[in-house]
Amino acid sequence: MYTKRNCHECGNALNGRSDKRFCSDICRNVYHNRERIAQTETIREVNLILSRNRRILMHCLEGRSAKVPSSYLSARGFDFNYFTHQISDPTGEVTVFCYELGYQKLGNDKVSVQRDAGFMRMLA
């Protein structure tokens, strides 16, 4: 019994092996690239947000003071919902990090920006 099969990408008729799914290498690559892009879109978006957060924190450290209002970070597009890790010290204070740069919330709507030297040693 013969069943007519079509390429999963372009719809052209397939000839050859019974388990063939694509008419050419081009169609196979286009199909799998599209699938891979759809799966990694969320990861790409999160990485962009984390990179922007890190860049904003880096800009704060280059200035004269590492203590800035949290509204300053928000105005530059900082998203407080995205971070790579957080560390609690023995007193219960939490420092939130975007890679090696972090911030700790202080009173009066201020944050203290700092660098985690231990993070860089861990990567080496």
Residue 96 inside a domain? The answer is yes
Total domains in the chain come to 1
Residue 69 inside a domain? The answer is yes
Residue 106: give the domain boundaries: 25-123
- pLDDT for residue 120 is more than 60: no
- Provide the 3-class DSSP secondary structure of residue 94: strand
Residue 68 inside a domain? The answer is yes
122 vs 90, higher pLDDT: 90
Residue 92: which region, alpha, beta or left (left: phi > 0; alpha: psi -120 to 50)?
Answer: left
Per-residue model confidence (pLDDT) at position 119: 54
Residue 90 inside a domain? The answer is yes
Q: Is the pTM of this model over 0.75?
A: no
- pLDDT tens digits, 3-59: 789 999 999 999 888 889 999 999 999 999 988 887 788 888 999 999 999 999 999
Residue 115 inside a domain? The answer is yes
Residue 32 inside a domain? The answer is yes
